[in-house]
Homo-oligomer: A and B are copies of this chain.
Amino acid sequence: MTTLAEEVARTFGSPAVMIDLDQVERNIARLQAACDAAGLANRPHIKTHKSPVLARLQQEAGARGLTCQTLGEAEVMAEAGLSDILISYNLVGPEKLERLARLLRRMPLTVSADHPAVVEGLGEAAAAAERPLDVVVECDTGRARAGVATPAEAVALARMIAGTPALRFAGLLLYPPEDGVQATQGFLDAVQAGLAGEGLQARIVSTGGTPNLKHLGAIRGATEHRAGTFIFNDRMMMACGAATLADCALDVVATVVSRATPERGVLDAGSKTLTADPGGGLDGYGLIREVPQARIHKLAEEHGFLDLAACPDALPVGAVVRVVPNHVCVVVNMVDRLVTTRGGRIIGEIPVAARGLTG
């Protein structure tokens, strides 16, 4: 009997990245239901799938708008007819601002900013586009990523935005740490109070992250949530308790190509497929569904090195396996297409239309 993985390898070559559309739809529905139950708009982050086809499935299930991490992603989504786009990233530099102005001429947009220099550029782009640009202030409530570091800075930046012709202060963008509900609430309350004192109001208060789905509804004043990874899930989401193995909808199909000794083997998926993403300290680079005790302990570019000490008789040369990767978002970005399946059968392919568009 031929397995689905063998069928995929046979048809599309190995390695390949495949998704189970039934599970994708279940994940989309669950995220939507969770947002609905919490009274939050669902604004899924498309950096995970980079596909207008999947963004449309999310919209049809009830999502309100979508989130992009790069301008290139937003351009691809706009080109495909999607709208209500939030770009959760500082857009900086003349090339970006010209492209932003071009896109803004076509449709309303919301972008985030965390610095006066960024706001200044956005103001120029919006003026050039002759359409007001909605700007949310990114706030850092503990992750030490981007985002203003204090409520006072957030209020000052909101005031600057509100005072910039062509810009509209639209609200706040947060990516709370998983254990940071309380700190986030404190930061947010302080900003809201400061805004009120300025006569400003945050129409959008956007929280983010699949790991934060467990806190959905816990942050008072939030209006929407941005989750990306949940559409597919991965080992990282399993590790943080956001998903089980059954919730994982994306697998890397790979083939055992070498078995030098009973304890060692090589998969044809290396760092150019699985990526070197350590998944925040996971053991190895992927979970082999068929033989979970086999460890992908190291990668070369086209080699996934297998430690088979626990299962020396498994996985002969030619065995085709399904690997749940550490981090789906970076894996999807390695391939130009996702093989789609339903009920154990191949359906077709979806282009990863925004692959590689990091700017």
Report which A residues bind B (CB closer than 8 A).
9-16, 47, 69-70, 72, 89-96, 99, 114-115, 117-118, 140, 144-149, 255-261, 264, 266, 268-273, 275-278, 300-303, 305, 316-318, 320, 329-330, 333-336, 356, 358-359
Q: Are B359 and A14 in contact (CB under 8 A)?
A: yes
Give the residue of B90, B273, B356 whose beta carbon is less than 8 angstroms from that of A335. B356
The 3 closest A-B CB pairs, nearest first, are: A146-B258, A13-B359, A117-B317
Q: How far is the CB of A285 from chain B (nearest CB, A)?
A: 10
Are A92 and B317 in contact, with the CB atoms below 8 A? yes
The answer to whether A94 touches B10, judged by C-beta atoms less than 8 angstroms apart, is yes
Interface core residue of A266, A272, A277, A330 (most chain B CB under 10 Å): A272
How far apart are the CA atoms of A275 and B276 in the complex, in Å?
7
Nearest to A335 among chain B residues (CB) is: B356
Shortest Cβ distance from A337 into chain B, in angstroms?
Answer: 10
B358 and A114 form a contact (CB under 8 A):
no
> How distant is A131 from chain B, measured CB to nearest CB, in Å?
22
Which residue of B has the minimal Cβ distance to A228? B301
- A258-B90 CB under 8 A given contacts A145-B266, A145-B303: yes
A96 and B356 within 8 A (CB): no
B89 and A148 within 8 A (CB): no
Contacting pair B301 A359 (CB below 8 A): no
Known: A14-B92, A70-B302, A118-B258. 14 other contacts (CB 8 A): A9-B93, A10-B94, A11-B95, A14-B93, A15-B359, A16-B359, A69-B302, A89-B268, A91-B257, A145-B305, A146-B303, A272-B330, A276-B278, A334-B356
Whether A14 touches B96, Cβ cut-off 8 Å, given contacts A257-B89, A272-B330, is: yes
